Structure 1
Amino acid sequence: MKESLKIPHDEIQKLPFLLKNLVEVCRCMNYQVDVIDRNFIKVSFTKSFFAGANGDIGINPINPHFACEVVNDKARTMQILEKEGFRVPLGKHFFISGVYSEKGKKLKDVFSYARKLGYPVFIKPNRLRAARFAEAVHSEVQLKEIVERIAEVDSIVVIQEVVNLPEYRIVSIDGEFQYSCRRLIPKIDGDGLKTIQELIQDFNTKLGRNAIDATCPYILNQFKKRRLNMNSILEKGDSLPVNSTADLRRGGSYSEYSETISNATKKWLKKISDIFNLRVIGIDVFSEGSINHPENLTIIEINHNPGHKAPPIEKVQNIIKLVCQKYFNESDIQRA
């Protein structure tokens, strides 16, 4: 498949969300598109090109590679933010496998630190995406189980306090605010007929490889709290949260979408963009009140490839168009 104008509509629809919208933008802008496979495409214009991909590579060629690598490291990102005076959840990172370690941050120190923080604590891998193995755990047994699973895919874990506040995402390009939305944790809704196990199976069918683990600590703790089990039937109108994170790829949802924000938060946003040298940036935050007041915000993570699932399609494509135009215009200037 070569030029975007010749790509069959049904083939475009098979692409992941961001790549599908990137191809649609290319149709309008007369960019050439080579679809390498359903997760990897090449976009060309005049003598310049970039690769867009589902996952870490993303579709934001104006973001410097080094800056993306920095924010992929959650522990270092938190250290930088804390040093610069931004609020982050209380926590530490620990080396659980591999040859490198630091005093007081070895595997054995994970458990003593969790006891010091007090259960429940939040644990997540340092570099994995899509909230994989990110859990609120309520006991050392649960913590040990998650640490062992993370050790198979990452050498560092981050242990933090649990923060029970509304979560938001704020997105900007070159320091200019684009949109914000509240992120809601995923839940299953009862119908008075199906068991929780059946509802989770239905829920996971839509998620594919990002399916939630029905035996994860978060669900087990919900069961204990509400005296439920997999064979329980949720009444119609009742719901059950099934993940401790609000990642949209894992079934989370959103509300309070907005394309306006205060000047104070715009300045706060630009400062973070400048610190990390990220031109396209999504910042996930907890907020004690309105996100129009930066003093309310505690930063959870920084994302160099926000998924744009909340905005209307027209806004999504306008964002992608803006990024592409910046990239190709700047490439032309550099060659001149």
Structure 2
Amino acid sequence: MPRNASMYAIARAARAAGLRYGRSRRFKGKPLLVSDATTRVYFGRGGCSLSSRRKLRIAKSKSRTRRFLERHGCNTITGKRFLPSQASAAVRYARRLGFPVILKPDDGSKGRGVEKLHDAEGVARYLSRLSDDRQGVVVETFFAAQEYRITAVNGQLLGVANRVPANVTGDGASTIHELIAAKNAIRSRRRACPPIVVDPVVTAVLGRQGLSLASIVDKDVRITLRDSTNVSLGGESVDMTEAIHPGYLKALEGAARAFSDIVMVGFDVFIEDIRRPPDDTNWAVLEVNGSPMISLHHFPWEGEERDIAGAALRELFPDPHFCSR
């Protein structure tokens, strides 16, 4: 079985369905082959081999995704793309938005290069570190809300996961460093839970809260360690599929249908209160992922597993015997 948690979920679903699965080197970055007598599908980086390449290119670019989502009736985060050579314009734009702002690569993934910046000097430093002037950077407003991954299969929205940044909860006796070590021991025993890495980002986030790794936190007080919610950086996934107000799923239907030729697609959405109905100001789609980390739904830190992999295979291998399993 694959070591990657999302590929593991697909292989497990294939085995349960009686489909063949195994490693393949035919497509770079797509190491998992699932097949029956007539159909062969490859999974891995970049999603599924049968997904639309055009839509995957749209999803890869955050600026193109924003325009596409707006055409399909979705609220989006206010932002604009700049090149490193346009640093002065990017700083002026950030000032107009108001700090803090978020900067990230236009074609980035897995939280790489995403920074929450609190002043113009930080924006300028971020852009000065980039060596390739062709590398687009998105400057966008900071939206203070909870982040959710809503995943669709063939246009049907099937799973909702609250993405929570890496954190620890105080016990009144242990230092934050000790709490991280204890939590990492728990994470090491669970699938799809990489360790929380202590690095300069963590110390900076703690510093903004007046804390350090040596601080002792009161009992039951939760301390956020990163701004990013990515599981690969120690974040957590909490299933909220039953809790979400149906109005959000209704609002995303058009975009989900438009991206239905990407077999599995994830919408990263900010929502102020998931149980209250949507309006023009309390939610926004951040971006679209054409190769979603479905392990968020299969192996949540809290809550019920959602069988995204099984749903995808039922679409790709619509065999009556398979569907009855």
- Which TM-score tier does this pair reach, normalised by the shorter chain? 0.7 to 0.9
Given the superposition, is the C-alpha separation of residues 120 and 297 from structure 1 closer, same or farther in structure 2, using an over 3 Å criterion?
Answer: closer
User: CA shift at 1:263, angstroms?
Assistant: 5.4
When residues 308 and 69 of structure 1 are mapped into structure 2, their CA distance, relative to the original with a 3 A threshold, is: same
Counterpart among 57, 75, 78 of residue 46 in structure 2: 57
Rounded to whole Å, the distance in 1 between the matches of 2:264 and 2:276 is: 20
Checking the alignment, whether the CA contact within 8 Å between 2:74 and 2:255 is kept in structure 1 is no
TM-score of the superposed pair, with normalisation by structure 1: 0.76
Q: Measured at CA, do residues 142 and 222 of structure 1 come closer, stay the same or move farther in structure 2, by a change above 3 Å?
A: farther
Report deviation, 1:319: 2.6
Match of 1:289 in 2: 273
Q: Are the structure 2 counterparts of residues 318 and 118 from structure 1 closer, same or farther at C-alpha, using a change threshold of 3 Å?
A: closer
- Structure with the larger helix share: 1
2:70 corresponds in structure 1 to: 82
Distance 1:153 1:329 in 2: 46
SS of residue in 2 equivalent to 1:246: coil
3-state SS of paired residue (2:226): coil
Percent identity reads 22
> What does residue 323 of structure 2 align with?
none
- Structure 1 residue runs of 5 or longer lacking an equivalent are 1-11, 98-105, 331-336
Asked if the contact 2:32–2:43 (Cα under 8 Å) also holds between the matched residues in 1, the reply is yes
Give the secondary structure class of the aligned counterpart of 1:181.
strand
3-state secondary structure, aligned to 1:258:
coil
> What's the CA shift for 1:260?
6.9
Q: From 159, 167, 172, give the equivalent of 2:147.
A: 167
CA contact (8 A) 1:126 1:158 kept: yes
Matches within 5 A, 1:125-204: 125-149=105-129, 151=131, 155-191=135-171, 195-197=175-177, 199=179
Moved more, 283-292 or 121-130: 283-292
Unaligned runs of 5+ in 2: 320-325
Q: 1:25 aligns with which of 10, 13, 17?
A: 13
- RMSD of aligned alpha carbons: 3.5
Question: Paired residues, what number?
Answer: 305
Deviation by residue 1:132-184 (Cα, 9 ceiling, x = unmatched): 12121112333334334455697011111111112222222223221223222
Paired with 2:114 and 2:215, the residues of 1 have a C-alpha distance of 26
Report the equivalent of 1:270.
Answer: 253
Determine if contact 2:46/2:290 at 8 Å carries over to the other structure. no
Shifted more, 275-284 versus 198-207: the winner is 198-207
Check 1:230–1:318 CA distance in 2 against 1; reply closer, same or farther (3 A cut): closer
> Match of 2:311?
322
Q: Which moved more, 1:117-126 or 1:274-283?
A: 274-283
Pick from 72, 92, 115 the counterpart of residue 95 of structure 2: 115
**Which residue is 1:4 aligned to?**
none
Once residues 134 and 195 of structure 2 are traced to their aligned partners in structure 1, the CA distance between those partners, rounded to angstroms, is 18
Amino acid at match of 1:89: I
Structure showing greater relative contact order (alpha-carbon pairs closer than 8 Å, 6 or more residues apart): 2
- Residue 35 of structure 1: aligned partner: 23
